Amino acid sequence: MPRRSSRSRSHLVFLSLCAVAVLAASCRRSPEPLPGAATEPAAAVRQLVQHLHDNDLAGYARAAVPPAQYAELEAAWARGHSRWPLDELPLHDKLPTLLATLAAPDAETRLQRAFKAQIAGQAASVRQAAHSLGLFGEQYISHQGDYSDDERAHYVQLVRALGDWAQSAPLSDPKLAGSTIATLTAAARATGLDSDAALQEAGMTGSLQRLAPFARAVKQVLAGYGLSLDDSIAQLRTGLVSQQGDHATVHVQYPLAGKDIDLQVALERRQGHWYLARTLAEVDAVLAAARAAALVPGEGDAPPPGTGDDSGDSPAAAAKP
């Protein structure tokens, strides 16, 4: 009898510890929702970032603007008057060059050589460079740039978190560098987007679809260095701060590189759906410029069929003896 009682107590203790562990793990994975999480504006932000989690860049673009604007952006892209949403990225104008560099036949050799010459074995120097860049970025964002107060506060948090991550990440590890280069060069070649002309030919939706696997590869590489963007997105929480008519402010929280990022974003309702107000303003400006450019002959538009100087069907060609 004593043995059986002792075993029973042991089993109960074990089961209790398991229950505590499960509850603790559940608490870590599912923190309390923010107030107003179930409201339409808060849900709209979560639905938008879910596309980024899924590497669905075309789905993100469709969800970011009203359908009529998406169609107009597609047409403006085809005429060379827009590269939205790529122009929301830092150094967006360098993207075709970056892809071309990564897709070059000798990219692996050249990049490995550059890494060995400049970074391999330089852990202390890399950490110092990351520290300096982080300080510079924080100072620049704090005092320069066209940012709202909320955006400025958000970007400062981002720079601090990424700066701290970069200082501790194994950026000078030769083995990781080798796998990183192999992953990114293969993904860049698969896009077939090594020039602005290639982007224009593929179209907006087509380009975003081709870039989706490259975005996945970039996230895979960052996760290898200890920065999991998918985990950050999966743990993102939203809540409602205020709503007045067709305007709302949403509270957003998410972890990044061990830091908690906290911000507020403005949303606007159009045609019954909620969109980020800054994105709408940027797209309104892009489309206004595209409409103006479309009125100027030769501003990015390809010549209509039959009007080229060398076309056998053109009036000029027909007049030739």
CB 53 within 8 A of CB 233: yes
Question: Would you state the pLDDT for residue 35?
Answer: 96
Tell whether the torsion through CA atoms of 198, 204, 206 and 212 is positive or negative.
Answer: positive
Strand partners, 267: 248, 276
Question: Would you state the pLDDT for residue 14?
Answer: 40
pLDDT digits (tens, 9 = 90+) for 234-271: 999 999 999 999 999 999 999 999 999 999 999 999 99
CB 122 within 8 A of CB 172: yes
Supply the DSSP string of 60-82, one letter for each residue. HHHHHS-HHHHHHHHHHHHTTS-
Question: Would you state the pLDDT for residue 121?
Answer: 73
Question: Would you state the pLDDT for residue 111?
Answer: 94
Question: Would you state the pLDDT for residue 26?
Answer: 39
- Distance (Å, whole) CA 25 – CA 35: 22
Question: Would you state the pLDDT for residue 108?
Answer: 95
Cis peptide preceding 85, ω within 30 of 0: yes
Tell whether the torsion through CA atoms of 255, 260, 265 and 271 is positive or negative.
Answer: positive
Question: Would you state the pLDDT for residue 8?
Answer: 46
Q: What is the pLDDT along the chain (321 residues), one digit of tens a residue?
A: 444 454 444 443 443 434 433 333 334 456 789 999 999 999 999 999 999 999 999 999 999 999 999 999 999 999 999 999 999 887 788 899 999 999 999 999 999 999 988 887 777 888 888 888 888 888 888 887 777 888 888 989 999 999 999 999 999 999 999 999 999 999 999 999 999 999 999 999 999 999 999 999 999 999 999 999 999 999 999 999 999 999 999 999 999 999 999 999 999 999 999 999 999 999 999 999 999 998 887 655 544 333 344 444 443 443 333
> Considering the entire predicted model, what is its pTM?
0.80
